[in-house]
Each structure stands twice: as C-alpha cells, then as structure tokens.
Amino acid sequence: MEVKGKIIQKFDLQSGTSKAGNPWKKQNYLLETLDSFPRKIYFDFFGDRADQYPLEVGDMINLSFDIECREYQGRYYTDIRGWKAEKIDSTTQAAPQAPVAPDAPPAPIAPPANEPTFEQTQEDDLPF
C-alpha cells in the first residue's frame, strides 16, 4: 500500500537485543496525509530500513508500507511497517499554474445562429 504525506513528528530510535541474541532497531514517525481531510498515520521502519530511510520533520514523502497484526495475551495489535520512503520535492507538488495572458479585451460574443441581431429588431411592436 502507498500513501503521500508530510512527516510531522519523529520519535526516538528504539533498539535492543532479541531473545535469540540478534540486535534490532526501530524508528517511529507520525505522518499526516495530504487529503482534503488529513489523517495521521503512526508507522515505523524496522531493522536496516531505519538507517536506509532517514526522515526528518517536514519531509514530504510517498510511503510504501505493509499492515501487520499480532496477538499478545488475547489482544490484537496492528503495526504499519514501512518498507520504502521516497522524498517528494514540494515545489513539484504544487498545482500547475495556467499561463497568464496579457491584459487583452475580451473577444466579442457572436449571436446564436438563426436569431435576429439588435439591428434587425429595431421595428418592434411595443405600445410605448
């Protein structure tokens, strides 16, 4: 899955050693989407990806992620695990601007076909 947004918070790097003796690390972020009704998404990069994608607050990114769920003591927890982040240039995200025309008078509007023009309707039958 993918989502575009802005990093609004970066949390402290977490690290440790697993039961098997392997070192691990996890970097958490909070992203705000670019939708008309922005949503916040809490996600992480785990392992080597924590170093591979160093993000900072204010970065505009396109995040590719997976959703994982795990059970612990009868309760379920859902994680959003990022696997790729592409930085977006904020200047290219702006809507393209239409070229500005020089101040020119508007073109005259032609009357619809088969309708008399003002000059043709001078003879009217109004009572006043």
Distances from the Cα of 24 to the Cα of 47, 55, 59, angstroms: 6, 19, 25
- With respect to residue 125, please indicate whether it lies within any of the assigned structural domains: no
- pLDDT of 96 reads 46
- pLDDT tens-digit series, residues 26-69: 999 999 999 899 999 999 999 999 999 999 999 999 999 999 99
Q: Could you tell me the two tokens for 111?
A: 């009357």
- With respect to residue 103, please indicate whether it lies within any of the assigned structural domains: no
- pLDDT tens-digit series, residues 64-91: 999 999 999 999 999 999 999 999 986 6
- pLDDT tens-digit series, residues 101-125: 556 566 666 656 666 655 555 566 6
- With respect to residue 8, please indicate whether it lies within any of the assigned structural domains: yes
Residue ranges making up the domain that contains 43: 2-90
- With respect to residue 123, please indicate whether it lies within any of the assigned structural domains: no
- With respect to residue 126, please indicate whether it lies within any of the assigned structural domains: no
- pLDDT of 84 reads 95
Q: What is the CATH number of the domain that holds 46?
A: 2.40.50.140
- pLDDT of 89 reads 81
At 51, which helix (H) or strand (E)? helix 49-52
- What is the tally of structural domains in the chain? 1
- With respect to residue 115, please indicate whether it lies within any of the assigned structural domains: no
- pLDDT of 110 reads 61
- This model's pTM is above 0.95: no
- With respect to residue 121, please indicate whether it lies within any of the assigned structural domains: no
Give the whole-angstrom CA distance, residue 89 versus residue 62.
11
- With respect to residue 23, please indicate whether it lies within any of the assigned structural domains: yes
